[in-house]
């Protein structure tokens, strides 16, 4: 398992009974987590002294309950600054476990010894975009949500990357890649963090099990001949690391060489030294 254990402003304090207890900077949140199927005693006082608690509904969705939590606050990872705010379906605007992937591709970008062009698809609030830009890459950031792209721009400004070579695009990721193929544009690194289910700006439906293999095939057409990495993240339980390995090996290794490795990613739990699983990632590199 790849573990995001370099955080100072974030930690999973404990997890029990379908929920995780987290510290986001100065604030404590309780949020549901489908992986937490065990029920252990909640001995930490933070369980009762939380700033925000997202309650799942038996009918789907849920709602936040707040106890002295600001509308927005910030945390830091290395040189990066992220604005956080609780919003729909338990989210805060950041997936901290992805830091283990940020560190991996940042190292590859810094050691490339040449300019590197990176494409970040389903780019959300820009964690991977900022990490790649801070490492020296020229980044194209694509997400179907205008609100998320604007949020990512704010994070870039706060991280001192307002003038970095980042192209911000509100677009359907599949249609964007198809246009890049026609234009003949190429990238040295591709990052994709596709949702399990989603809709594009014009109602285009994305269902990961039906769409991911074809999408990987498309993206190989815009990988440069001397590309250095390809990263896929998945939060869908049906896409095990071995499935990512198989698809990436068939579509990328056959054309470009190199090798693929896939694993669960996770966050350390400070109360007991265990690791909370947080999905899977597949990495291709030369």
pTM: 0.94
Within 10 angstroms of residue 17's Cβ, the number of other Cβ atoms is: 13
Model confidence pLDDT, tens digit, residues 221-250: 999 999 999 999 998 766 889 999 999 999
The rounded distance, in Å, linking the Cα atoms of 62 and 235 is 19
State what percent of residues in the chain have pLDDT above 70: 98
CA trace torsion 256, 198, 181, 137 (10° rounding): -60
The rounded distance, in Å, linking the Cα atoms of 266 and 99 is 10
Residue 49, pLDDT above cutoff 70: yes
Residue 29, pLDDT above cutoff 80: yes
∠ CA(219), CA(220), CA(225), 5° rounding?
A: 130
Nearest to 92 by CA among 148, 16, 19, 14: 148
The rounded distance, in Å, linking the Cα atoms of 230 and 219 is 10
The rounded distance, in Å, linking the Cα atoms of 7 and 78 is 8
Mean pLDDT of 27-55: 97
The rounded distance, in Å, linking the Cα atoms of 252 and 225 is 11
Res 208: pLDDT: 76
3-state secondary structure of 254: helix
pLDDT grade for 201, boundaries at 50, 70 and 90: low
User: Which domains, ranges and CATH numbers included, belong to the chain?
Assistant: 2-84 (2.60.40.1180), 96-285 (3.40.50.150)
Query: Residue 121: which H helix or E strand, with range?
Result: strand 117-121
Nearest to 266 by CA among 36, 63, 61, 62: 36
């Amino acid at each position: 398992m790849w573990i995001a254990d370099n955080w100072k402003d974030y930690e999973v304090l404990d997890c029990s009974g379908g929920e995780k207890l987290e510290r986001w900077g100065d604030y404590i949140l309780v949020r549901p987590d489908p992986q937490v199927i065990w029920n252990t005693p909640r001995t930490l006082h933070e369980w009762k002294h939380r700033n925000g608690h997202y309650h799942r509904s038996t009918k789907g969705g849920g709602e936040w309950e707040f106890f002295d939590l600001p509308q927005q606050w910030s945390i830091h990872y290395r040189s990066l600054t992220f604005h956080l705010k609780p919003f729909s379906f338990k989210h805060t605007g950041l997936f901290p476990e992805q830091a283990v992937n940020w560190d991996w591709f940042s190292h590859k970008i810094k050691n490339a010894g040449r300019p590197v062009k990176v494409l970040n698809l389903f780019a959300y609030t820009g964690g991977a975009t900022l990490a790649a830009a801070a490492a020296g890459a020229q980044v194209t950031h694509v997400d179907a949500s205008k609100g998320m792209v604007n949020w990512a721009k704010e994070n870039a400004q706060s991280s001192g990357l307002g003038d970095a070579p980042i192209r911000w695009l509100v677009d359907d990721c599949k249609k964007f890649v198809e246009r890049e193929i026609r234009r003949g544009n190429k990238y040295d690194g591709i990052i994709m963090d596709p949702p399990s289910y989603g809709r594009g700006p014009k109602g285009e439906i994305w269902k990961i099990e039906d769409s991911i293999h074809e999408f990987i095939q498309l993206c190989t057409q815009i990988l440069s001949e001397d590309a250095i990495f390809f990263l896929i993240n998945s939060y869908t339980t049906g896409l095990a690391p071995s499935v990512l390995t198989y698809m990436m090996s068939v579509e990328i290794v056959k054309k470009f060489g190199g090798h693929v490795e896939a694993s669960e990613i996770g966050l350390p739990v400070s109360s007991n030294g265990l690791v909370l699983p947080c999905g899977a990632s597949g990495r291709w590199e030369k």
